[in-house]
Chains A and B, each alone.
Chain A
Amino acid sequence: MRDAWLYPYVPALAATLADDLAELGYSARARPLEGEPLAGLAGEGPADADRAGGGVASPGANGSGSRGNSGWRPPALVLVTLDARAIAVANERCARLRAVEELAEVPLLLASDENALRAGNTLPDGDELLVAPWSVDELRARVERANQRLGLADEGDVVRLGTLELNLATYQVTIDARPVDFTYMEYELLRFLITHPNRVFSREALLNRVWGYDFYGGTRTVDVHVRRVRAKLGNEHATHLLTVRSVGYRFER
């Protein structure tokens, strides 16, 4: 079962969600509402939260700032429940969740009651909004839409960008229908960035996410690969792969 993090600011809504999620094949994990040290930086994970909130993944954040040891696995889905009373804390929570790089590709859903929608209220930044009462079908549809919006298309989908085509099922990249020979790591880097568009990833984060943990190469490897991917993409498409000075890289779609 895939994990879904659930922030039960409104216990009644959270209980309904947990049942619905189970029906969709998610295992809902209640997250602590206070004191969760969800840092806004890659490399630091919500390790303490695991103890409090119950087993999302193996803790092991060591905060050394070096890559490859944050030790927790992002969930497949994050849900924040809110009502008029909880709207401020929910806002703050969502802002902090948004700042966690590991959660960048995880859809964030808001589950709200009607009261929270009153004029003058600022709803948190979420990918989809559920308003009670909802059905399991609506939940499923919202999750799918959020995934689509994040570019997390299902395997088998083809990402098209002008004349550039990336086939996620066959791992082939074509430009003007001509195959481009990417190496595996070049392909993986491009795939990752193109399916997580418009977000900045640090070199450390890319090393973690694309290269994995048993790589001894160091962050400059990322620069080298980006240069190569750009060269193979050619002028037209290379301009989408942006360097964000002193931060990292972003793919613009």
Chain B
Amino acid sequence: MPDRPADLDTSYVLRTVTERGVRFVRLWFVDVLGTLKSFSLPTSELEQALEEGVSIDGSSLEGSVRLRERDVIAVPDPRTFQLLPWRRQAPVARMFCDMRLPEGTPFAGDSRQALRNVLAQASALGYTLQVGTELEFFLFAPLSDDGALPVPLDRGAYFDLTPRDEGSDFRRETIEHLEQMGIPVTASHHEVGPSQHEIQLQYTDALSMADAVSTFKLAVKEVAHEQGAYASFMPKPLEDQSGSGMHVHLSLFEGERNLFHAPGDEPLSEAGRRFLAGVLTHAREITAVTNPWVNSYKRLGGGFEAPEHVSWTRHGRSALVRVPSARPNRQSAARIEVRSPDTGSNPYLAFALLLAAGLRGIERGYELGPEVEDEAPADAPLLPADLREATAAFEASELAREALGERLCEWVAANQRREWRDYQRTVTEFERRRYLPIL
């Protein structure tokens, strides 16, 4: 009987590269802001890279704040090997990387590793997290350089040039690419805003989902580009339209049993209620990660059913967390839907913090407060109103430090502080329009 060698996944990659004539493999990782980074490796270097990793400048993980240079080793994860479906002529593949220090230990600034750490903690308790996402985005005409407002594709100049079902063609193409890359899609539809789309990704384990979200953003942009459009995940690109979010559906499993499932009419089991209480209790602290941009808060505070208060609901429309009604016959469907995160957030860190908050709720037996129907009560706590407030809450969060580690927390905060400072220095159109005439 042939024994399967331990590094079967590596030989799979090496063979596939030869068989399919792949000449370059892109090694992917995300920085602390969730931005996908890529470097290209000729196939001839691949075997060595799989064995030893590739040395890169670690400050590339720090986002827009480069604190210090430090070499880290990017080790490709062969299980994430994929041919990129949008490169049809010359096959190109990608792999996600894990970051290690030259000594071989995991690098504390690696978002993927941070999520793995929290998943390992859950696993030690016997839990596995399942994550589903709904990702919203806009399709615009290609951006102009003069700072003019983006033009949605559904109306305006491009309408005449494109067939009427342009959006659905686009979604079909995107979904095909995603499915080919092992990212199953459950649904897609046109959203509220003009040229706003939503694609739902089938639940899967948290690390695969975070990889999938990163891949998704690139796939959407690639397909849009092919079709002469521009796709944006900016949380609130148009003032008078709804913003784009990433609703995150979470459920916790113990073996094949959904811990959130309650018999009868209850939407959530006790463990589910405590998990939800954890997410709500720590919601303000983790908002800097789930909503990391200045613009994120224009969405959260801007109506259109975006959550503004820390609240949960079964039937209301704008709560932070929605709990789908009980479905006694489908225990796997019991879940909570966190509605605040942006698609522009770092999904690894966002999932890590949501899970850490939920686990803490279970561990410490948090009590879930009452449900809200439509209007949040006047005394319901508010989510942070802007990035500065969110950053302050994040910096004070012991939960975040425990879940992500000092280094990642410091990087997140440094990026946010700088973002806020740059924003504050900007004299906006609003100010000129409002104040020039009267002052």
Partners in one complex: yes
Residue among B2, B20, B184, B208 with the most chain A CB within 10 A?
A: B2
Can you list 22 pairs linking A and B with CB atoms under 8 Å apart?
A66-B255, A105-B1, A107-B1, A152-B2, A170-B15, A171-B11, A171-B12, A183-B81, A184-B13, A204-B255, A204-B256, A216-B120, A217-B207, A217-B208, A218-B205, A220-B204, A220-B205, A224-B202, A224-B204, A228-B179, A228-B182, A228-B184
Please name all residues of chain B whose beta carbon is closer than 8 Å to the beta carbon of A221 when the two chains form the complex.
Answer: 204-205, 208
Decide if A219 touches B204 in the complex (CB within 8 Å).
no
How would residues 209 to 253 of chain A score, 1 for a CB under 8 Å from any chain B CB and 0 otherwise? Answer: 000000111111100100110010000000000000000000000
Please pick, from A172, A188, A204, A219, the residue contacting B253 in the complex, using a CB distance under 8 A: A219
Which chain A residues lie closer than 8 Å to B80 at the CB level?
Answer: 184
Tell me whether A216 and B122 are in contact (CB under 8 A). Answer: yes
A128 located at the interface, meaning its Cβ lies under 8 Å from any Cβ of chain B in the complex: no
Interface centre among A2, A171, A187, A231 (most CB of B within 10 A): A171
Task: Write out, one digit per residue, whether chain B residues 102-127 have a CB within 8 A of any chain A CB (1) or not (0).
Answer: 00000000000000100110110010
A186 to B3, CA, bound (A): 20
CB-CB contacts of B7-30 with A at 8 A, as 1s and 0s? 011011101101110000000000
Q: In whole angstroms, how far apart are the Cα atoms of A231 and B203 in the complex?
A: 17
Whether B82 contacts A183 by the Cβ 8 Å rule is: yes
Asked if A187 contacts B12 (CB within 8 A), the reply is yes
Interface centre among B78, B80, B128 (most CB of A within 10 A): B128
Decide if B128 touches A216 in the complex (CB within 8 Å): yes
Residues in A with CB closer than 8 Å to B119 are 216
At the interface, yes or no: B73 with Cβ under 8 Å from chain A? no
Cβ contacts under 8 Å, A231 to chain B: 179, 184
Interface on B for A, CB 8 Å cutoff?
1-3, 8-9, 11-13, 15-16, 18-20, 78-83, 85, 116, 119-120, 122-123, 126, 128-130, 179-182, 184, 202-208, 253, 255-256, 332
Query: Size of chain A's interface in residues, with CB distance under 8 A?
Result: 37
Return the contact of A171 from the options B16, B82, B130, B206 (Cβ within 8 A).
Answer: B16
Chain B residues, CB < 8 A from A224: 184, 202-204
Bound-complex Cα distance A20 to B20 (A): 44
> Which residues on the A side are within 8 Å of B182 (C-beta)?
183, 185-186, 228
Give B119 Cβ to nearest chain A Cβ, in Å.
4
Question: Considering the chains assembled together, what is the distance between the CA atoms of A189 and B119 in angstroms?
Answer: 23
> Which residues of the other chain, A, contact B8 by a CB distance below 8 angstroms?
188
Let me know if A220 and B13 touch, CB within 8 A.
Answer: no
| B83 / chain A contacts, CB cutoff of 8 Å | 181
Say yes or no: is A203 at the interface (Cβ < 8 Å to chain B): yes
**Does chain B have a CB within 8 A of A154?**
yes
B9 with A184: CB separation less than 8 A: yes
Interface residue? A54 (CB, 8 A): no
Known interface pairs A105-B1, A172-B16, A183-B81; A216-B205 also in contact (CB < 8 Å)? yes
| Residue A106 is within 8 A (CB to CB) of chain B in the complex | yes
Establish whether residues A217 and B184, one from each chain, have CB atoms under 8 Å apart when the complex forms: no
How many A-B contacts at CB < 8 Å in the complex? 105
Cβ of A76 under 8 Å from chain B:
yes
Per-position contact with B for A137-158: 1 when CB-CB < 8 Å, else 0? Answer: 0000000000100001011000
CB contact between A155 and one of B2, B19, B180 (< 8 Å): that residue:
B2
Docked-complex contact A218 and B181, CB < 8 angstroms: no
Tell me if A152 and B11 are in contact (CB < 8 A).
no
Q: Do A218 and B128 touch across chains, with their CB atoms under 8 A apart?
A: yes
Alpha-carbon gap, A154 to B3, bound state (A): 10
A183 B181 Cβ-Cβ under 8 A: yes
Decide if B179 touches A171 in the complex (CB within 8 Å): no
Residues of B contacting A133 with CB < 8 Å? none
Closest 6 CB pairs of A and B: A218-B128, A217-B205, A183-B182, A216-B119, A171-B12, A216-B123
Q: Mark A160-174, 1 if CB is under 8 A from B, else 0.
A: 000000000111100
A220 touches B2 (CB 8 A): no
Bound CA–CA A186/B120 (angstroms): 23
CB-nearest residue of chain B to A73: B3
Contacts of B122 in A (CB 8 A): 216
Distance of A221 Cα from B179 Cα, bound (Å): 15
Which residues of A lie under 8 Å from residue B120 when comparing CB positions? 216
Contact between chains at B208 and A76 (CB < 8 Å): no
Chain B min CB distance to A224 (Å): 5
Instruction: Chain B residues near A204: list those with CB within 8 A.
Output: 255-256
Q: Which residue of A lies closest to B10 (CB)?
A: A184
Is there an interface contact between A65 and B180, defined as CB atoms closer than 8 Å? no
Q: Is A11 an interface residue (CB 8 A)?
A: no
CA of A2 to CA of B1 in the docked complex: distance in angstroms? 9
In the assembled complex, the Cα of A171 lies from the Cα of B12 at a distance in Å of 6
| 11 more A-B residue pairs beyond the given contacts A181-B180, A220-B253, with a C-beta to C-beta distance below 8 A | A170-B18, A171-B11, A171-B12, A172-B19, A183-B181, A188-B9, A218-B128, A219-B253, A219-B255, A220-B204, A228-B179
* Chain B residues whose C-beta falls within 8 Å of the C-beta of A2 in the assembled complex: 1, 3
Given A170-B19, A216-B123, A216-B205: A184 and B255 within 8 A (CB)?
A: no
Instruction: Given the known inter-chain contacts A152-B2, A154-B2, A172-B19, please indicate yes or no for A184 contacting B179, CB distance below 8 A.
Output: no
B181 touches A217 (CB 8 A): no
- A69 smallest CB distance to B (angstroms): 12
B residues less than 8 Å from A76 (CB atoms): 1, 3
Q: CA of A155 to CA of B11 in the docked complex: distance in angstroms? A: 13
| A152 lies within 8 A of B15 (CB) | no
Task: Determine whether A60 belongs to the interface, using a CB cutoff of 8 Å to chain B.
Answer: no
Decide yes or no whether A179 CB sits under 8 A from chain B.
yes
Q: What residues of A have a CB within 8 angstroms of the CB of B16 in the complex?
A: 170-172
Residue of A nearest to B119 (CB): A216
Q: Are B78 and A184 in contact (CB under 8 A)?
A: yes
CA–CA, A76 to B202, complex, Å? 38
- Give min CB distance, A151 to chain B, whole Å: 11
In the complex, A7→B370 CA distance in Å?
64
Return chain A residues, CB-CB under 8 Å to B256: 203-204, 219-220
In this complex, what residue of B is CB-closest to A172? Answer: B19
Q: Within 8 Å CB of A65, what residues of B?
A: 255
Bound complex: CA A185 to CA B8 (Å):
11
